[in-house]
C-alpha cells in the first residue's frame, strides 16, 4: 500500500494527480490565449495591409485626375474622394476593432482565470479521502 506522502507534490501540498490535471488545464489555456493573440494580431495586420493597398490604388487615380479636364477630371476626382472616404473609414474600423478585440481578450483571459480556479477547487474536492489537507 502506498503512502499518501508518496503522492504529494513538493512545495504546494497538492497530489501529483491534481498537479497533472492543473498542468493540462494550464497547457490548454495557454494554447487558447496564444490563439487569441495571433488571431487579433492577424486581423489588425490584415486591415493595415488592406488600407495600404487602397492607398496605392488611390495614388495613380489622383495623379490621373490632375492631368485631365472636363467630365473625366470630375469622375476621377469623385473616385478619389470615394477611396479617401473608404480609407478613412477603414482606419476608424481598424482602430475600433482593435479596442473591441482588446476588451474581448481581457474578458476571455478573466474567464480562463476563473475556469482555472474552479478546476483547481474541483480537483481538490475529488481527491481520494485521506489525501486532502
pLDDT at 103 over 60: yes
Round the average pLDDT of the chain to a whole number and report it: 75
In angstroms, what CA-CA distances link 60 with 66, 69, 72?
10, 16, 14
Q: Looking at residue 10, what is its pLDDT?
A: 41
| Mean local confidence (pLDDT), 4-20 | 53
Please say whether the beta carbons of 124 and 132 come within 8 A: yes
Please list the alpha-helical segments (H only) found in 1-133: 16-67, 71-125
pLDDT at 49 over 70: yes
Q: pTM value?
A: 0.50
| Mean local confidence (pLDDT), 78-103 | 82
- Answer with the residue of higher pLDDT: 66 or 69: 69
| High-pLDDT (> 90) share of the chain, % | 0
Amino acid at each position: 500500500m502506498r503512502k499518501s506522502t508518496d503522492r504529494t507534490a513538493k512545495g504546494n501540498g497538492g497530489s501529483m494527480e491534481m498537479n497533472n490535471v492543473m498542468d493540462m488545464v494550464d497547457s490548454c489555456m495557454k494554447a487558447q490565449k496564444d490563439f487569441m493573440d495571433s488571431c487579433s494580431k492577424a486581423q489588425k495586420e490584415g486591415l493595415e495591409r488592406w488600407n495600404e493597398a487602397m492607398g496605392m490604388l488611390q495614388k495613380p487615380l489622383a495623379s490621373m485626375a490632375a492631368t485631365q479636364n472636363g467630365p473625366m477630371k470630375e469622375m476621377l476626382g469623385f473616385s478619389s474622394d470615394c477611396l479617401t472616404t473608404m480609407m478613412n473609414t477603414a482606419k476608424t474600423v481598424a482602430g475600433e476593432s482593435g479596442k473591441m478585440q482588446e476588451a474581448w481578450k481581457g474578458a476571455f483571459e478573466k474567464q480562463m482565470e476563473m475556469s482555472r480556479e474552479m478546476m483547481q477547487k474541483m480537483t481538490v474536492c475529488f481527491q481520494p479521502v485521506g489525501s486532502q489537507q
